[in-house]
Every structure is written in C-alpha cells, then in structure tokens.
C-alpha cells in the first residue's frame, strides 16, 4: 500500500512563491513516477509536472519556467516549488504516484493524495 500526503498550500499574493510537499509512505520502492496535478473550480484536473526514478522531469507549458518538481529520496518526499504565482494558478493541487512510468495522464497514476489548496490573490 502507498499513501501520499500533500502539504504547503495556502494563500499568497500574485508574484509570490510557495513550496508544496508530498510525503510518500508504504511501499515507496514502487513509486517510479511521481506527479503533480491541479484542479480549479469547474475545470478538469490538469497535469502540472512529473518526476521519474531515472531523474528526468517534465513540466506543463503553463508552468514551465515558474514551477519546479524535485525529489528528496532519503526523505521519501516530492516537492513542487512554485514561483511567480498568478491568480490562474489557484487550484487544489494533488500529488500522484505510479508504479510504472506514466506521464501527463490522470489514468496512468495509481495513488493520489488528498490535495492541498493554493489560492493566489491579485
């Protein structure tokens, strides 16, 4: 069993920064792919970033250059550093894990966290 717990969300002004954390517990060796997704009110859940056990990463065009996904394997934690935040970034952010080597698609991920709210004010 794998459990994911996100933290670090909150309220921030436009242009500010936040760092989200996702602590992975359980069978951590099975989480070859870690991803971040977000869902704004009334919208679909969108891909944000992914990190693979190979060390490669991928970021959505909407956040490229502003957000960075990273890992601390010793702490079984995945991070999403969010800089230059915009009101359009307001959403619930979800951490996800896949035993395989998925990517941008929600259906590729087997485990999900509870989500953490990020609100960016003007």
pLDDT at 68: 98
Q: What is the mean pLDDT of residues 85-113?
A: 95
pLDDT at 108: 95
Distance of CA 16 to the CA centre of its chain: 18
Report the alpha-carbon distance of residue 10 to residue 78 in Å, rounded.
18
pLDDT in the model for residue 27: 80
Is residue 19's pLDDT more than 90? yes
Q: Are 21 and 4 in contact (CB under 8 A)?
A: no
Residue 113 predicted with pLDDT over 90: yes
d(CA 22, CA 24): 6
| C-alpha distances in Å from residue 61, one per residue of 48, 58, 64, 68, 73 | 8, 9, 5, 12, 26
pLDDT mean over 12-22: 98
């Amino acid at each position: 069993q794998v459990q994911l717990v996100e933290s670090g969300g909150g309220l921030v002004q436009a242009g500010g920064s936040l760092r989200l954390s996702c602590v992975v517990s359980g069978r951590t060796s099975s989480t070859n792919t870690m991803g971040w997704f977000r869902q704004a009110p009334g919208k679909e859940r969108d891909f944000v970033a992914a990190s693979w056990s190979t060390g490669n990463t991928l970021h959505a065009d909407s956040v490229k250059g502003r957000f960075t996904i990273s890992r601390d394997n010793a702490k079984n934690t995945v991070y999403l550093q969010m800089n230059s935040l915009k009101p359009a970034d307001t959403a619930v952010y979800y951490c996800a894990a896949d035993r395989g080597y998925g990517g941008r698609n929600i259906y590729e991920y087997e485990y999900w966290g509870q989500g953490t709210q990020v609100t960016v004010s003007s």
